[in-house]
Amino acid sequence: MIRLIVSAILQSVLNFFVRWYGTGSQFFWSRVFEWFASLDRTFGVAINARLIMHPLYGDYSPVGRVIGPVFRLGRIALGAATYALLFVFAGAAWLAWLAIPALLLITMLVPARL
């Protein structure tokens, strides 16, 4: 009977870590990349990268052929910088998420000094 109880407790602890670190991380990063996909509708990095050498608004004059790629490259650079910054913040949030169980264990095990 005791063996069954200990086994159930160990299985619950193992399931906690699998859900917290495995499933939780998978859910977090899937949401982050869905958010990046929705941001791409605002910044248009993918479409501008695909159409980088095409002039804007069908302006095939010499000026349009020069301005189009420069403008598109600027949008790609702005979007890439924004994505990189947001990715760093998402990574920091993820690392904080991973640290929560360890911090709680340390807080419970180390006596508080008054």
Cα(71)–Cα(79) distance, integer angstroms = 12
pLDDT digits (tens, 9 = 90+) for 49-106: 999 988 888 888 998 889 999 999 999 999 999 999 999 999 999 999 999 999 998 8
> Rounded to two decimals, what is the model's pTM?
0.77
d(CA 104, CA 107): 5
Q: What is the pLDDT of residue 114?
A: 63
Q: What is the DSSP letter of 55?
A: P
Least Cα distance to 79 among 46, 55, 57, 51 occurs for 46
Tens-digit pLDDT profile for residues 100-112: 999 998 888 887 7
Per the structure block, which two tokens stand in for 22? 């495995």
